[in-house]
Each structure stands twice: as structure tokens, then as C-alpha cells.
């Protein structure tokens, strides 16, 4: 019995002493690179660091608790060097629109979250009725945005919108113009700052005379259009314009038999 116990102790010491000295365990490799290192294909060299190709089938756990798949030097709690991640039953845990966040990857592949409700929208309304003269390209002045994010900076005095990040943006532009006769044309546009040709524009002709504007009757001809802007760089600036072929008034709000409310506004969403 003593002999058997002695043999067991020797075996344990044979295993434990090297582990205590080096604190590294290798599976399929005699050359572990970190605390726990599995060489899936058993293709790592006996010395030196494995190549990227050799690491592609490795699994590693560092002393700080980082886990690496296809890398023996993970920099995050879970670091997948190459390949896709799949969760087979993720649809069993449905998200909550407007509350949950986007999961995105930055330029280094690190997963992060973004709050959908504050990330990409810009919405502003015309600050007051604005006169638009025939043949003049007038900058529409919107009030302080009701919804915005770090993607945008808006100057309500000059009407200049600055994009703080390059990318593609969907623009929805709506306006109502009054004091017009049938056939009056209004062009809504997006122009760069400094000024140049239109980046986008939409045209509408009044179908009939609009009622004379009074304190209680404020009805115009409504138009809207949607377009996409390709913003080339951060700091790019635009202005939103109105250009009629006859003098008219661009209405901030309408009032009539069906009630009152805003009618001229701009909405932008980064896509």
C-alpha cells in the first residue's frame, strides 16, 4: 500500500512541480504561450511564438482572464482573431425597440454599443414664417433642433448645418408656402457652404390659389421630398434653401378648420 501511495505522490509531484514553476498548461503543445494554451491542430513549433497561421486553430487563456480564439495574445475578455461568431438561439431573446442599443464593431473589431434613440437623428422646424422673393435663393432658418446628436451642429442664426462625421445621410424636407397663385413654383434645395450648385433639390407647382393669410386662416401649398447626401468629410457644411418663381411666404405652421401645427421642417438620419 505504501509503495502505491508513494507512486501516486511521485506522479502528482511530477505534474504539479512543473506547473508551479511555469504556471502554464499546454494541450497538444509542449510550448504553451500563456496560462492555458490549446493547439487545436498540434501544428505549433517546439520553440518560439507560433505564426498567425498556426494560431488560427489555437485557444488561449491569459493570467488576466482574457480568452483568445485564433490568438494567443487576447487583448479583450473575449478576443476572436479571425472568423465569425454565431449564436444559434439569439431570436429567443427579443430586443425592445427604442430602449435597447445597437451592437457595432469599431475599426479594430472591438464590439461596442450605441444608443439608438440619441445617435443619428436631426430634426428642426422653421423658426418663423419667412418671406421668399421671386428668383432669390433664400436660406431657411430653422429653430434650435428638437432632436440631434454629435453627428450634427446647427447654427440657427446663419442656417448652416455642419456634419461632424463623413457618411451617407437621408434628408426629408417638407415646406408649405402661402400667398401664392396657381402655377407658382417653389424649389426646395440643399446647397453647400461656401455656395455652389445644388446638392439636391425638389420642385413643386401650386395647384390653385392659396387663401389669403390672416391671423386665423394660414393655409399654404404643401410639398416635401426625400433625398440622400453623401458627406465626404467631417466639417462639411450645407444650407437648406427655398427659391420661388413668384413672391411667397414659407409658413412655419398652418392654422385652419382642421387645427394648427408645424408644416415646414427638416429631418436627417445617418445610415
Interval 18-49: pLDDT, tens: 544 557 999 999 999 999 999 999 999 999 99
Q: 75 and 132 share a domain?
A: no
pLDDT the model gives residue 255: 87
Q: Cell numbers 401664392 label which residue? A: 180
How many domains is the chain partitioned into structurally?
2
Q: 60 and 163 share a domain?
A: no
Q: Is residue 243 part of a domain?
A: yes
**CA neighbor of 177 nearest in space, from 143, 204, 150:** 204
DSSP secondary structure letter of residue 90: G
CATH at 162: 2.60.120.40
Q: Is residue 140 part of a domain?
A: yes
Q: 263 and 201 share a domain?
A: yes
Residue 1 has pLDDT above 60, yes or no: no
The answer to whether the beta carbons of residues 64 and 38 sit under 8 Å apart is no
Average pLDDT over residues 140-145: 97
Q: Is residue 107 part of a domain?
A: no
pLDDT-derived band at 108, boundaries 50, 70, 90: confident
- Distance of alpha carbon 170 from alpha carbon 226, whole angstroms: 7
Q: Is residue 265 part of a domain?
A: yes
Q: 195 and 68 share a domain?
A: no
pLDDT-derived band at 271, boundaries 50, 70, 90: confident
Q: Is residue 226 part of a domain?
A: yes
Residue 105 has pLDDT above 90, yes or no: no
- Distance of alpha carbon 169 from alpha carbon 118, whole angstroms: 16
pLDDT the model gives residue 52: 94
Average pLDDT over residues 66-87: 92
How many Cα atoms within 13 Å fall on the side-chain side of residue 113? 5
pLDDT the model gives residue 127: 94
pLDDT-derived band at 6, boundaries 50, 70, 90: low
Q: What is the number of other CB atoms lying within 10 angstroms of the CB of residue 208?
A: 10
pLDDT-derived band at 139, boundaries 50, 70, 90: very high
- Run of H or E including 249: strand 248-251
SS3 content of the chain, % helix, strand, coil (to 5): 10, 40, 45
Q: Is residue 95 part of a domain?
A: no
Q: 211 and 133 share a domain?
A: yes
Averaged pLDDT of the chain: 88
Q: Is the peptide bond before 200 cis (omega within 30 degrees of 0)?
A: no
Q: Is residue 110 part of a domain?
A: no
Average pLDDT over residues 66-94: 88
Q: 129 and 179 share a domain?
A: yes
Rg (CA), the chain: 33
Q: 20 and 134 share a domain?
A: no
Question: What is the bridge-based pairing of β-strands 160-163 and 78-80?
Answer: unpaired
The answer to whether the beta carbons of residues 9 and 22 sit under 8 Å apart is no
Average pLDDT over residues 158-168: 96
Q: 234 and 175 share a domain?
A: yes
Q: Is residue 111 part of a domain?
A: no
Interval 211-263: pLDDT, tens: 888 888 889 999 999 999 999 999 999 999 999 999 999 999 998 878 889 99
Answer with the residue of higher pLDDT: 87 or 39. Answer: 39
Q: Which domain range does residue 64 map to?
A: 2-84
Average pLDDT over residues 83-104: 79
Amino acid at each position: 500500500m505504501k509503495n502505491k501511495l508513494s507512486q501516486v505522490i511521485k506522479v502528482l509531484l511530477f505534474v504539479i512541480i512543473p506547473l508551479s514553476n511555469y504556471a502554464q498548461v499546454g494541450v497538444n503543445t509542449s510550448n504553451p504561450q500563456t496560462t492555458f494554451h490549446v493547439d487545436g491542430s498540434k501544428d505549433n513549433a517546439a520553440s518560439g511564438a507560433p505564426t498567425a497561421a498556426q494560431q488560427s486553430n489555437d485557444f488561449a487563456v491569459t493570467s488576466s482572464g482574457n480568452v483568445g480564439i485564433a490568438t494567443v495574445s487576447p487583448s479583450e475578455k473575449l478576443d476572436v482573431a479571425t472568423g465569425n461568431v454565431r449564436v444559434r438561439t439569439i431570436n429567443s431573446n427579443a430586443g425592445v425597440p427604442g430602449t435597447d442599443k445597437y451592437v457595432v464593431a469599431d475599426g479594430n473589431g472591438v464590439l461596442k454599443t450605441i444608443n439608438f434613440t440619441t445617435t443619428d437623428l436631426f430634426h428642426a422646424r422653421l423658426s418663423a414664417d419667412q418671406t421668399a422673393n421671386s428668383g432669390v435663393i433664400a436660406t431657411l432658418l430653422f429653430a434650435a433642433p428638437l432632436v440631434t446628436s454629435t453627428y450634427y451642429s446647427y447654427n440657427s442664426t446663419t442656417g448652416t448645418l455642419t456634419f461632424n462625421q463623413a457618411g451617407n445621410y437621408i434628408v426629408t424636407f417638407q415646406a408649405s408656402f402661402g400667398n401664392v397663385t396657381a402655377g407658382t413654383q417653389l424649389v426646395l434645395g440643399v446647397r453647400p457652404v461656401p455656395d455652389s450648385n445644388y446638392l439636391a433639390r425638389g420642385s413643386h407647382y401650386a395647384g390653385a390659389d392659396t387663401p389669403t393669410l390672416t391671423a386665423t386662416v394660414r393655409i399654404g401649398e404643401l410639398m416635401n421630398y426625400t433625398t440622400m447626401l453623401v458627406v465626404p468629410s467631417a466639417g462639411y457644411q450645407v444650407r437648406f434653401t427655398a427659391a420661388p418663381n413668384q413672391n411667397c411666404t414659407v409658413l412655419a405652421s398652418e392654422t385652419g378648420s382642421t387645427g394648427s401645427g408645424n408644416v415646414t421642417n427638416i429631418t436627417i438620419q445617418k445610415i
